[in-house]
Amino acid sequence: MPLNNDQGHEMERDLTLDSFLDEQESIAVYDTYFPFKRAVTSFKGHCTEFTVESKKKNKSKAGTVSKTSLKKELAKDFGLCLSLTKDYAIIKKNVALETSVDFTVYKIYRMKGINILSFITNTVDTVFTTALYADVDFIKYNVTKLKIDAIVAKAIDYNSKIGKTTQTGNTSSTANTQIDKIIDLIHIDIESMENTIGVFADEHPEFIDGFNKNKVIYKTGVHHQGVQGKVYKNNVLAPEAFIRIVDTDKTTTSDALAVYKIIYMKVGHYTIECKNASGDYTKVEFDVTPRNITNLDIHLD
């Protein structure tokens, strides 16, 4: 049984970027900057895993799905924060900090639901301190207090769903499920590279141009169907606004830059609800079309 269209296009994109990063000129550029090189190494490892898993096809059992997407978001968001913090710790030669964030996204995926909230809150309490937020070198990695607070809020929301989910049949194979997880990890690798690529802006503009051309994510299928945009209040960016798709289990919180994104949606007509901590509220209708992420800015005016 071949890869589905989403997975096939993802693999095509990833192998194209992988080939670009294998060129001698590219290696010479990223080999000089550890955070970028580490993300490249991780990306290449996940591309190899992708190839291995694409050859496996075994039927899976029915699984709990109503909180799956939220757990996936938590693992991705927090995993990226930990990854970037580890880069920072290595550069600063802070062994204690490096050890405390030496945690993979896979482990968060595999963690029992009841342990997710305590793990995230304990890590936030012990790692992401006021002093760390104030360090100008750390701020460059875009791990802000607003972003961490939004992750904690998402973890609290996830925790509230434990024991309230429904069971449904899953016709995907275990191989396809694993491949989808690897795709998400590859996206994290690329995000990590994007967060640090600015260091090459002046010396190697050709490399940045080539990287951007080869990292384009194909908009195919349900993986890339949904809605995204920014939240505003009186034309000012509104981070930490809670967003919910009516009559679904899909929710999210706008990040530190007031950006939100919800994917893995089926084609259809939906209503989105949005509110902030001050109680401002609005409701907007929109459509999800095939292989497209609808751009929708939300105004809490």
Q: Where are the chain's structural domains?
A: 5-61+170-214, 63-161, 222-299
Distances in Å between the Cα of 247 and the Cα atoms of 52, 94, 124, 255, 290 are 38, 47, 32, 23, 20
Q: Does domain 222-299 have CATH number 2.60.40.1120?
A: yes
Per-residue pLDDT 10s for the chain (301 aa) are 567 666 777 777 788 899 999 999 999 999 999 999 999 999 999 988 888 887 764 333 333 445 777 888 888 899 999 999 999 999 899 998 988 888 778 788 788 888 889 899 988 988 888 788 888 888 888 888 888 999 999 898 888 877 654 433 334 455 677 787 888 888 888 888 988 888 998 999 999 999 988 887 655 555 667 899 999 999 999 999 999 999 888 899 998 889 998 887 888 899 999 999 889 999 999 999 876 789 999 999 7
Whether 70 and 154 have beta carbons less than 8 Å apart is answered as: yes
SS3 216: coil
Contacts of 152 (CB under 8 A, 6+ apart): 120, 121, 124
Whether 243 and 252 have beta carbons less than 8 Å apart is answered as: yes
Contacts of 12 (CB under 8 A, 6+ apart): 218
